[in-house]
Structure 1
Amino acid sequence: MAEQNEYVPPKVWTWDAESGGRFANINRPIAGPTHDKELPKGKHPIQLYSLGTPNGVKVTIMLEELLAAGYSDAEYDAWLINIGEGDQFSSGYVELNPNSKIPVMLDTTTGTRVFESASILLYLANKFGAFVPEEHGAKTEAMNWLFWQMGSAPYLGGGFGHFYAYAPFKMEYPINRFAMEVKRQMDVLNRHLAENKFMAGDEYSIADMAIWPWYGAMAKGVLYDAKEFLSVHEYEHVIRWADEVGARPAVKRGRMVNRTFGEPSSQLHERHDASDFDTKTQDKLQG
């Protein structure tokens, strides 16, 4: 390992706002709002405030899958929360999610706020009775993998993704440590999907919706530009599953919502009607 200057922690830690990193301008060691601003509300029963990151995509996939399955009460307004500009620290947002992370959802039919992506998926699954297996064993398996994702993704995003892609300079030890863990996680999935069509067996569920935006994207080489570094071609069963889930029309639509990067035709910054996919993607608005 290359020699590095050793960091000696002080007796009492203090926040250095100039410590660097891609998201240094929005990071802070306290909670609460930074400014007063009410959240907008649309006409649909469900109001979603989000961004097209993996955690946000989980929920828009679920909503589009519900609509595709005929659950018209799952109609939703998806409002863009620009985390780079600190939208998540507005008073209106913090009222719905005191943790100031995306996504957050408001069910206007009950006045219920729901934050944390897995909680939103479970809320919608329970509300509509969809995308969770009815049989107890299969349902438990879906829950196993849903909570596996919630516990594992911080290593993939906050760990590997941060040090490999976002830290102000490359550091060998944390990159090696988190690359090892991400490859172990990918192997866990690859072994499971060698014997199962979907995460909970033969039935597509919220477990697939939760895992696909993170690990499906990694398997397809579109996350952190780390395809070669992590040798993702080794995970052939994850790639097979990622292709199958990614081919679903509702998944294709869901990954476009609140997306602010990539090809303009793949970006639907806000979604307020099903027709927006045909008329309000960025290529249409810019054209």
Structure 2
Amino acid sequence: MADLSAFPITSRWPAKNPDIIQLYSLQTPNGVKISVALEELALPYEPHYVSFATTDQKTAEFVSLNPNGRIPAIIDPNGPDGKPIGLFESGAILLYLAEKTGKLIPADAAGRYETIQWVFFQMAGIGPMFGQFGHFYKFAADKVANNSYPVERYRDEAKRLLSVLESRLKGRQWIMGDEYTIADITTFPWIRGADIFYGGREVLDYAKFPAVMDWLQRCIARPASEKGLNIPVKPA
């Protein structure tokens, strides 16, 4: 049995099975990336619910694994050289899982780097800009009621990013063509989230991006997505 005692986070979220991947997450766009990927890869894992309501992500135990205090994070008891490894940042975790299994990323070097660039496109563009749009459009609407600039700025940038994705997806099943990859997994939860969490479908003109919308439905309809999008479950 793997010894995870070197990871203080396991004292707050004990591992029932320390021999499998431990996932510390929540059903946010960033969080579900990892549960969806783990389901796609059929890797056994144990999800732990990190409550924002009680600021679990700011506790000393969580910060010991992710000093940035954000979900998701994982511990893989079977890391490089057979030793446990802890990781944070959803893009880094996706790349790690893809390279660990040799799946969800092209085997050739050119395809691998092309996939990584689209992962970075989401991490550096879609995630932050959609997140800022959602913050000002929904969660801080009362604070900017007399100043339309923040919503307009991030709305317009989010739409610009959607247009980039639209151009990429025209004539393609997935971002990388015929192969479903971590580029799709890192991106689609944010397009979905801007709709279901922020109510931004109309203001972001989703109907003007048909290739993105068709791709989004293909992503959501995958069996691994249907399961992973609902993990972790809030404890009763």
TM-score higher than 0.5: yes
In the other structure, the counterpart of 1:247 is 221
Q: For residue 222 of structure 1, report the CA deviation from its aligned partner.
A: 2.2
In the other structure, the counterpart of 2:25 is 50
2:68 is the alignment partner of 1:94: no
Q: Distance in 1 between matches of 2:101 and 2:73?
A: 18
In the other structure, the counterpart of 2:8 is none
Q: For residue 200 of structure 1, report the CA deviation from its aligned partner.
A: 1.4
Instruction: Return the letter of the residue paired with 1:114.
Output: L
User: Deviations along 1:62-100, whole A, 9 cap, x unmatched?
Assistant: 000011xxxxxx211100000121101222111111111
Q: Distance in 1 between matches of 2:26 and 2:216?
A: 21
In the other structure, the counterpart of 2:12 is 38
Could you say what secondary structure the match of 2:196 adopts? coil
What are the ranges of 5 or more consecutive residues in structure 2 without an aligned counterpart?
1-10
Q: Distance in 2 between matches of 1:207 and 1:102?
A: 19
Contact 1:190 1:237 in 2 (8 A): yes
In the other structure, the counterpart of 1:105 is 74
- Flag the 1:202–1:149 CA change in 2: closer, same or farther, 3 A: same
Matches within 5 A, 1:169-180: 169=143, 170=145, 171-180=147-156
The structure with higher relative contact order (CA 8 Å, sep 6+) is: 2
Q: Distance in 1 between matches of 2:68 and 2:203?
A: 33
Computing the radius of gyration from Cα coordinates, the structure with the larger value is 1
Q: Distance in 2 between matches of 1:38 and 1:246?
A: 32
Contact 1:49 1:105 in 2 (8 A): yes
Q: Distance in 2 between matches of 1:100 and 1:128?
A: 27
What are the ranges of 5 or more consecutive residues in structure 1 without an aligned counterpart?
1-36, 68-73, 259-267, 271-284
Q: Distance in 1 between matches of 2:115 and 2:36?
A: 17
TM-score, normalised relative to structure 2 = 0.87
- Count of aligned residue pairs for this structure pair: 217
In the other structure, the counterpart of 1:215 is 191
2:201 is the alignment partner of 1:201: no
* Overall identity of the aligned pairs, in %: 37
Q: Distance in 1 between matches of 2:225 and 2:61?
A: 29
Q: Which has the higher helix share?
A: 2
1:144 to 106, 117, 120: 117
Q: For residue 195 of structure 1, report the CA deviation from its aligned partner.
A: 3.1
2:83 is the alignment partner of 1:118: no
Q: For residue 217 of structure 1, report the CA deviation from its aligned partner.
A: 4.0
In the other structure, the counterpart of 1:269 is 234
TM-score, normalised relative to structure 1 = 0.72
Contact 1:38 1:91 in 2 (8 A): no
Contact 1:47 1:106 in 2 (8 A): yes
2:105 to 98, 121, 132: 132
2:56 is the alignment partner of 1:80: no
Instruction: Return the letter of the residue paired with 1:150.
Output: M
2:233 is the alignment partner of 1:233: no
